[in-house]
């Protein structure tokens, strides 16, 4: 008997190279960096907690962030067929339901590593995975909202990673100063996440995704994203200065001033220049995060 729809042929095993592409290593950097910022901002010597540091960085990057990318590509496979047809799932390199299977297995591996690392990390990982699935998967699919989607990513990428790094090192709730700075950088990251939406405006409009560039128009969304990135950093400068952390305050101020110089170029043509701004302005932003963390931890 020929294979029927009731007994479909098993899709071929994906190549390792395509699985790694699906997990998008380039996206792992922000949460790994935020985790390190959290660790340093706690002021607890890193040498005393090496094993946590390695597990925490692996969870923030390849494991939980990697899972979030696989989940996203699985549930976005129809829109990606328009916007990004070369990706592993729409191109057919990861065929059948392998995209979903990889998302589930990688979630399980993340939970296992987190459980072996400790209760704080397990709680943070569970929350991170819940955000990862809710961001892309129905019924919540937060990414369809231009406000809630970037907020969930910003809070989990920057805030949750920084919080976990600081909380585990200190073995307690981080200080009010650390919480204030991580909250401000999470808020600013909302603007960074909006930059990600300029490349997909056509497909998003066609498929009803209400990203900020779709609902506000590209120029107004770029202006808003610039303000959302800049204002929290300005508040960080004032707070650091108030706490007598003059060197980090000055460092963050100089890095912010350089971003303000770059922003008009972004606003002039956001669709074309968002990748350029990601490489320049956003890099300055993340160096500012590190300067603030080093200041809070007493290193600067």
Ligand X SMILES: C/C(=C\COP(=O)(O)OP(=O)(O)O)CCC[C@H](C)CCC[C@H](C)CCCC(C)C
Computed on alpha carbons and rounded to an integer, the radius of gyration of the chain in Å comes to 20
Beta bridge partners of 145: 210
CB of 85 to ligand X, least distance (A): 12
Give the list of residues 6+ apart from residue 285 with CB closer than 8 angstroms, or none.
Answer: 188, 192, 229, 233, 255, 259
Q: Give the nearer residue to ligand X in terms of CB position, either 19 or 124.
A: 124
Q: Give the nearer residue to ligand X in terms of CB position, either 146 or 297.
A: 146
CA angle 174, 246, 227 (to 5 degrees): 75
CB of 145 to ligand X, least distance (A): 12
CB of 149 to ligand X, least distance (A): 7
CB of 79 to ligand X, least distance (A): 8
Other Cβ atoms less than 10 A from the Cβ of 246: the count is 12
Q: Give the nearer residue to ligand X in terms of CB position, either 59 or 94.
A: 59
**DSSP secondary structure of 12-62:** PPPPHHHHHHHT-GGGSHHHHHHHHHHHHHTT--GGGGHHHHHHHHHIIII
Q: Give the nearer residue to ligand X in terms of CB position, either 35 or 255.
A: 35
Q: Give the nearer residue to ligand X in terms of CB position, either 140 or 235.
A: 140
CB of 88 to ligand X, least distance (A): 12
Listed in sequence order, the DSSP H helices in 118-217 are 119-136, 148-154, 161-170, 176-195, 201-206, 212-216
* Orientation angle between helical segments 29-41 and 64-75, nearest 10 degrees: 150
Give the list of residues 6+ apart from residue 240 with CB closer than 8 angstroms, or none.
Answer: 181, 246, 248, 249, 252, 292, 295
CB of 264 to ligand X, least distance (A): 25
Q: Give the nearer residue to ligand X in terms of CB position, either 143 or 273.
A: 143
Interaction site with ligand X (CB under 6 A): 31, 59-60, 64-65, 68-69, 72, 76, 124-125, 128, 131-132, 135, 143, 152-153, 156-157, 160-161, 164, 196
């Amino acid at each position: 008997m020929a294979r029927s729809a009731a007994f479909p042929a098993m899709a071929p095993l994906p190549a390792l190279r395509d699985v790694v592409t699906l997990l998008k290593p380039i996206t792992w950097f922000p949460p790994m960096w935020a985790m390190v910022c959290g660790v340093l901002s706690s002021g607890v010597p890193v040498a005393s907690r090496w094993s946590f540091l390695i597990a925490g960085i692996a969870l923030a990057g390849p494991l939980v962030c990697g899972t979030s990318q696989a989940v996203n590509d699985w549930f976005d496979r129809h829109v990606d067929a328009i916007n990004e047809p070369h990706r592993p799932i729409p191109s057919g390199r990861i065929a059948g339901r392998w995209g979903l299977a990889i998302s589930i297995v990688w979630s399980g591996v993340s939970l296992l590593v987190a459980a072996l690392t400790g209760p704080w990390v397990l709680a943070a990982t569970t929350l991170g995975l819940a955000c990862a699935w809710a961001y892309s998967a129905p019924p919540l699919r937060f990414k369809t909202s231009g406000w809630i989607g970037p907020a969930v990513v910003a809070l989990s990428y920057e805030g949750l990673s920084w919080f976990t790094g600081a909380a585990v090192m200190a073995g307690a709730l981080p200080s009010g100063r650390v919480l204030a700075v991580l909250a401000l950088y999470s808020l600013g990251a909302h603007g960074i996440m909006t930059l990600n939406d300029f490349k997909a405006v056509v497909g998003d409009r066609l498929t009803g995704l209400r990203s900020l560039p779709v609902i506000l128009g590209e120029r107004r969304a770029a202006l808003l994203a610039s303000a959302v990135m800049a204002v929290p950093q300005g508040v960080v400068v004032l707070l650091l200065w108030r706490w007598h952390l003059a060197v980090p305050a000055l460092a963050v101020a100089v890095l912010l001033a350089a971003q303000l110089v770059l922003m008009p170029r972004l606003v002039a043509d956001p669709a074309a220049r968002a990748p350029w701004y990601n490489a320049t302005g956003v890099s300055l932003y993340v160096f500012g995060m590190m300067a603030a963390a080093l200041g809070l931890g007493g290193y600067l």
